[in-house]
Amino acid sequence: EAQVTQNPRYLITVTGKKLTVTCSQNMNHEYMSWYRQDPGLGLRQIYYSMNVEVTDKGDVPEGYKVSRKEKRNFPLILESPSPNQTSLYFCASSRGPRYEQYFGPGTRLTVT
């Protein structure tokens, strides 16, 4: 089954404790991206990757890091999480930004 998986689905952590949210796709897509979704603000792109070892900032990259060492994986790293990073996070993959984006199930992160 073609899918994007994210782990964990739910995470509660404390300020400053480094965390990683994993994302994996099995569709051989070159383009992957991370979004955060907040009430009233919709989906905002954090980072995207056009291919392996090629990443670039989206609209809200501050406080986040990503890496793309393999085509299928695109982890999101929060080196020092803060409460304003409490949000619902989605990973997505596609053949490119102009193609249908396939979204993962989401990760709800709470930073206290």
Partner 1 sequence: QKEVEQDPGPLSVPEGAIVSLNCTYSNSAFQYFMWYRQYSRKGPELLMYTYSSGNKEDGRFTAQVDKSSKYISLFIRDSQPSDSATYLCAFDYKLSFGAGTTVTVRA
> For partner 1, which residue of 5, 20, 30, 43 counts as binding (CB under 8 A)?
43
Which residue is listed with tokens 């995207």? 48
Nearer to partner 1, 40 or 112 (CB): 40
> For partner 1, which residue of 2, 14, 27, 41 counts as binding (CB under 8 A)?
41
- The total of other beta-carbon atoms located within 10 Å of residue 96's CB is 11
Q: What is the distance of C-alpha 42 from the center of its chain?
A: 15
Task: Number of helices (H) and strands (E) in the chain: give both, helices first.
Answer: 0, 11
| 33 interacts with partner 1 by CB under 8 A | yes
Residues 44-83, mask of contacts with partner 1 (x by CB under 8 A): xx--x----------x------------------------
